[in-house]
Amino acid sequence: MERKRVKTWTGRRRLERRYRWYNGVELRAEQPTLKVNCLSLEIWNEEKGKATCRNRWVTDLAIGEKSAVETVRCARARWKIENEHNNVLKRHGHHLEHNFGHGEEHACEIYALLNLLAFQMHGVMLLLDEGCQKARAGIRRRDEFFAGMRIFFNRYVFETWEDFIGFVGQDDEPDG
């Protein structure tokens, strides 16, 4: 096992990042087997006298003293992006936490993909569609926006998307 320690000051606390890695670890005892490289990070808070973060990764990339820090930085950034993305899908109107395991053979995959497609389309529309931007601007939370859209879809008939989004985005205050 190889090790590297890096002490840092965050502006509020002193931390020691402890990197450890192995190259060429066999995944199983039977031969032939795949060999992988293992990397771990422990962030030690010197003031608290304990580890405040522990992470481990397995990769096919060779790990050395120079690459260990950069590999950890990339892995943590990727985890942060995935975690934030999944948090949005679960808690901000897309309800991805629902168990889509009901139905036929591939139902859960299809429902999840449709949900991801809807998430991407909402992002594109908020960037490019002025009517959608206006409709969304008046409502703080995304889940409230989608709840309102569901109510309008259930109660009214709209000929076009423009009619619908114009209705959703109109001011509540009468002109006067």
Q: Quick one: CA torsion of 99, 102, 106, 111, rounded to 10 degrees?
A: -50
What is the DSSP pairing of strand 50-59 with strand 35-45? antiparallel
How far, in Å, CA of 29 to CA of 26, rounded? Answer: 7
8 Å CB contact between 28 and 77: no
What is the per-residue pLDDT for 174? 55
pLDDT in tens, the chain (176 residues): 899 999 999 899 999 999 999 999 998 888 888 899 999 999 999 889 999 999 999 999 999 998 999 999 999 998 888 778 777 777 776 666 655 556 667 777 777 788 888 888 888 988 998 888 888 887 878 778 888 888 888 898 989 988 888 887 776 555 54
**Both structure tokens of 143:** 């889940």
8 Å CB contact between 141 and 107: no
How far, in Å, CA of 119 to CA of 125, rounded? Answer: 10
What is the per-residue pLDDT for 172? 58
Q: For the chain, what percentages of helix, strand and coil (3-state, to nearest 5) are there?
A: 45, 25, 30
State the pTM of this model: 0.55
CA neighbor of 44 nearest in space, from 2, 78, 83, 3: 3
Q: Quick one: CA torsion of 66, 70, 71, 74, rounded to 10 degrees?
A: -170
